[in-house]
Amino acid sequence: MRAPLFFLLIILLSCRKSSSQSETPAGFNKTPAVITLKGGALNEASGIADSKINAGYLWVQQDSGNPPFIYLLKKDGTIADSVFINGATNRDWEDMAVSGNDVYIAETGDNNLAYSSYAFYRFAEPAQGTDTVSVFDKIEFTYPDGHHDAEAFLVDPLTKDIYIITKNDVKSKVFVLSFPQNVSGLNEAVYVTDLEFNGVVSAALSSDAKEIIIKTYTDLNYLTKTSSQSIASAFSQSPQKLSYQIEPQGEAVCFGLDGKGFYT
């Protein structure tokens, strides 16, 4: 079974896979393992990603109003490093991902539907011990139909397209920024589809790109796809529900790179 791992205060959740049992969707266990955050507090975590170059660590970011740092968190709950993104602003950071060699940060929150444009920060993943990142791409964009509050996204590892999922529409909408994104001017996101539900606060794609989790405050919506199937086509499925121990203001989810589970 995949046994969820649940970090208090962040909060994080994982699961482990077994080849012998699959009673719940994709063999997920129902009971999270819990680890308490050590050596500090991250009270407004809004994004999480498993590090590719720092084995045994996760990246975490915080929500709006916090300084533009990302934090390297050991999987035993210890905060190991903070990295300042020099020149960036945390207006309303809402999700993050590691795809290829890069970290992506979503500057896409807009609770009051007040902003004229949104952005992604993209930069090479820092090694442990790095204290500042000063070189990054800023991918600025608008929507074709006005304002949206979006707290979730996925990066296609093959095409490098960025899929954005809105939060508060009657049904969450999916838009795409196709690669190569313009980093010196304004991009316009293209509408893809509506989901069957709304309230999306984070999303995750597995390392083999065959599993997707779309998180709300109350549910973990689980989709699968083949290696040849596009992410866009996967959104047309009716999701399965994974067992979920509801967190206070839980706004982050990611798969572990080892394929043994996920964190929230």
Report, as an integer, the average pLDDT of 51-77: 92
How far apart CA 190 and CA 175 sit, in angstroms, is 5
Note the pLDDT of residue 250: 83
103 compared with 6, residue with greater pLDDT = 103
Class of 5-263 in CATH: mainly beta
How far apart CA 157 and CA 163 sit, in angstroms, is 11
Residue 248 has pLDDT above 90, yes or no: no
Note the pLDDT of residue 255: 94
Domain spans in the chain, listed from the N-terminal domain onward: 5-263
* Phi, psi for residue 197 in degrees, rounded to 5: -145, 175
DSSP per-residue string spanning the chain: -B--EEEETTTB------SS--SSGGGB-SS-EEEE-BSS--TTEEEEEE-SSSTTEEEEEE-TTS-SEEEEEETTSBEEEEEEETT---SSEEEEEEETTEEEEEE---TTS--S-EEEEEEEPPPTT--EE---EEEEEEBTTB---EEEEEE-TTT--EEEEESSSSS-EEEEEPSSPPSSSEEE-EEEEE-S---EEEEEE-TTS-EEEEEESS-EEEEE--TTS-HHHHTTSPPEEEP--PPTT----EE-TTSS-EE-
Note the pLDDT of residue 17: 43
Write the pLDDT tens digit of every residue in 111-159: 999 999 999 999 999 999 999 999 999 999 999 999 999 999 999 999 9
Residue 16 has pLDDT above 50, yes or no: no
Which residue type is seen at 14? Answer: S
Note the pLDDT of residue 11: 36
Candidate ranges 133-147, 215-229, 242-256; pick with highest mean pLDDT: 133-147
The mean pLDDT value of the chain amounts to 88
| The pTM of the whole model exceeds 0.85 | yes
Reported confidence tier of residue 168, pLDDT bands at 50, 70, 90: very high
Report, as an integer, the average pLDDT of 201-215: 96
Residue with tokens 């975490």: 60
